[in-house]
Structure 1
Amino acid sequence: MKKLWLPLLFAVWLSAVGGSGSKNKRPNIVFVLADDYGFNDIGYHGEQIFTPVLDKLASDGVKLENYYVQPICTPTRSQLMTGRYQIHTGLQHYVLLPEQANGLPLDDPTMADKMKEAGYATHMVGKWHLGFYKKEYLPFNRGFDSYFGYLVGEETYYGHKRDYTDGNWYLDLRDQNGPVHSEEGHYSGHLFTEKAIDVVQAHDPRKPLFLYLAYQSVHGPLQVPEKYERQYRHIQDENRRIYAGMVSAMDEGVGNLTQALKDKGLWDNTVLVFSTDNGGTPKGGGNNFPLRGWKGSLWEGGIHGVGFVSGGRVPLKGTVNRELIHVSDWFPTLVGLAQGSLNGTKPLDGVDQWGTISRGTPSKRTVLLHNIDPLARTLGVPLYNDTFDTTVRAAVRVGHMKLITGEPYNGSWVPPPGSAHKFEPEPNTFPDKNVWLFNITADPTEHHDLSDQMPGTVRTLLGYLQRFNQHAVPAVYPPLDKNSNPALRGGVWGPWQ
Structure 2
Amino acid sequence: MSGRYQIHTGLQHGIIWPPQPHCLPLTDPTLADKLKEAGYATHAVGKWHLGIYKKACWPTQRGFDSYFGYLTGSEDYYTHSRGCGMPNFPTCKKWNGLDLYENEEPAWDYKQNYSTFLFVDKAKDVISAHDKTKPMFLYLPFQAVHGPLQVPQSYKDLYPNITNKARQTLLGMVTCMDEGIGNITQHLKQEGLWNDTVLVFSTDNGGQILVGGSNFPLRGWKGSLWEGGLHGVGFVSGGIIPESRKGVFSSELIHVSDWFPTLVKGVAGWDLNGTSLDGFNQWPTISQGASSPRMELLHNIDPIFNSSSKPSMTRKEPVSFDQSIRAALRLGDWKIVTGNPGNGSWISPPEDGTPSVHPDEPASKNLWLFNIKEDPYEYFDLSESQTDIVKKLLGRLDFYYKGAVPVDYPDGDPNCDPAMHNNTWSSWE
* Structure 1 match to 2:270: 340
Which of 368, 375, 378 is the equivalent residue of 1:443?
A: 375
Task: Kindly indicate whether the alpha-carbon contact (under 8 Å) linking 1:126 and 1:150 is maintained by their aligned counterparts in 2.
Answer: yes
Using the alignment, how far apart are the partners of 1:222 and 1:429 within structure 2? 33
Alignment match, 2:55: 135
Contact 1:103 1:130 in 2 (8 A): yes
TM-score of the superposed pair, with normalisation by structure 1: 0.81
Using the TM superposition, give the Cα deviation of residue 167 of structure 1 relative to its aligned residue in structure 2, in angstroms.
1.7
Moved over 6 A (4+): none
Task: Report 1:409-420 matches (<5 A).
Answer: 409-420=342-353
The aligned residue for residue 297 of structure 2 is 368
Aligned match of 2:325 in 355, 373, 392? 392
Partner of 1:7: none
List alignment gaps of at least 5 residues for structure 1.
Answer: 1-80, 379-384
Structure 1 residue 233 displacement after superposition: 1.6
What is the alpha-carbon distance in structure 2 between the residues aligned to residue 114 and residue 452 of structure 1? 46
Inter-partner Cα distance in structure 1 for 2:241 and 2:361: 48
| Separation in 1, partners of 2:348, 2:131 | 47
The one-letter amino acid of 2:300's match is N
Do residues 482 (structure 1) and 409 (structure 2) align? Answer: no
Which letter does structure 1 place at the counterpart of 2:343?
Answer: N
* Alignment of 1:471 onto 2:403: yes
Deviations 1:371-422 (A, max 9, x none): 00011126xxxxxx62000000000000000000000000101111120322
Query: CA separation in 2, counterparts of 1:388 and 1:177?
Result: 44
Which residue identity does 1:232 align to in structure 2?
Answer: Y
Contact preservation (8 Å) 1:102, 1:133: yes
For 1:25-424, list aligned pairs within 5 A: 81-164=1-84, 165-315=92-242, 316-336=245-265, 337-345=267-275, 347-377=276-306, 386-424=319-357
Gaps of 5+ in 2: 85-91, 308-317
- Please tell me whether the aligned partners of residues 398 and 461 of structure 1 are also in contact (alpha carbons under 8 angstroms): yes
Q: Give TM-score scaled by structure 2 length.
A: 0.94
Counterpart residue type for residue 270 of structure 2: G
Superposed, which structure 2 residues align to 1:425-436 within 5 Å? 425=358, 427-436=359-368
Aligned equivalents of 2:306 and 2:20: distance in 1?
20
> What's the secondary structure of 1:396's corresponding residue?
strand
Q: Distance in 2 between matches of 1:432 and 1:118?
A: 51
DSSP-derived class of the 2:140 partner: strand
After TM superposition, the structure 1 stretch with the greater mean CA deviation from structure 2, 434-443 or 310-319, is 310-319
> 1:317, CA displacement in angstroms?
1.1
One-letter identity of the residue aligned with 1:120: Y
Check conservation: 2:47, 2:69, Cα contact below 8 A.
yes
Whole-Å Cα distance in 2 between the matches of residues 135 and 420 of structure 1? 50
The SS at the match of 1:437 is strand
In structure 2, C-alpha distance between the alignment counterparts of 1:397 and 1:323, rounded to whole Å: 13
Structure 1 residues 357-377: Cα deviation after superposition (integer angstroms, max 9, x where no partner): 111111100010000001112
Tell me if structure 1 keeps the 8 A contact 2:329–2:337.
Answer: yes
Structure showing greater relative contact order (alpha-carbon pairs closer than 8 Å, 6 or more residues apart): 1
The SS at the match of 1:459 is helix
- Residue deviations 1:274-298 (CA, integer Å, cap 9, x gap): 0111111111111111100000000
SS of 1:325's partner is: coil
**For residue 340 of structure 1, what is the amino acid of its counterpart?**
W
Amino acid at match of 1:135: K
Partner Cα separation in structure 2 for residue 287 and residue 448 of structure 1: 21
Equivalent AA in structure 1 for residue 23 of structure 2: G
Q: CA deviation at 1:166?
A: 4.0
Partner of 1:126, secondary structure, is: strand
